[in-house]
Structure 1
Amino acid sequence: MLYHVRMDVNLPQDMPAEQANEIKAVEKAYSQELQQQGKWRHIWRITGQYSNISIFDVESNEELHNLLQGLPLYPYMNIEVMPLNQHPSSIREDDR
């Protein structure tokens, strides 16, 4: 199942830079592992914001929920999830 996920990150202003950098490093490693597994298909930065738009390819709502909760930045995120279905007018069989 494909999902369009928007993630807006809101780190506390008073969070020490060292702590923020450590969380971001762990987040990067986690997200890259999910990308290598094919579960996190695409990630794009939203220009001018600490936000991204991502495409996930997972088996279920529950799997996506668990992956998102595993993000180290999860406690500091607002997340919007939209399940995607192939449009009947699409000329493609897949999501290329």
Structure 2
Amino acid sequence: MLFHVRMDVHLPADMPAAIGDEIKAREKAYSQELQRSGKWRHIWRIVGEYANYSIFDVASNAELHDILTALPLFPYMKIEVTPLCRHPSSIRESDE
């Protein structure tokens, strides 16, 4: 199942830089592990915002929920999820 996910990050202004850096390092490692596994297919930065658009390819809603809630930055995120399906005009059969 494919999902389009927008993630907006809102770290507290008073968070010590060392704590923020440590959380971001764990986030990067976890996200790259998911990208290598194929579950996190794409990630794009949104220009001028601390936010991204991502495409996930997972087996179920529950799997996506588990992945998102395990993100180290999850407590500081607003997340919007949109389920996707292949468009009938698409020439890419693999995008299911």
TM-score band, normalised by shorter chain:
over 0.9
Instruction: Tell me how far apart the structure 2 counterparts of residues 26 and 80 of structure 1 sit (CA, whole Å).
Output: 22
Residue 74 of structure 1: aligned partner: 74
Gaps of 5+ in 2: none
Letter in 2 for 1:12: P
RMSD: 0.7
Q: Who is 2:3 aligned against?
A: 3
TM-score, length basis structure 2:
0.96
Q: Which runs of 5+ in 1 are unaligned?
A: none
Q: How does 1:17-32 map to 2 (within 5 A)?
A: 17-32=17-32
Partners of 2:25 and 2:90 in 1: how far apart? 38
Displacement of 1:46: 0.2
Please identify runs of 4+ aligned residues in structure 1 that moved more than 2 A: none
TM value normalised by structure 1: 0.96
Matched AA of 1:91: I
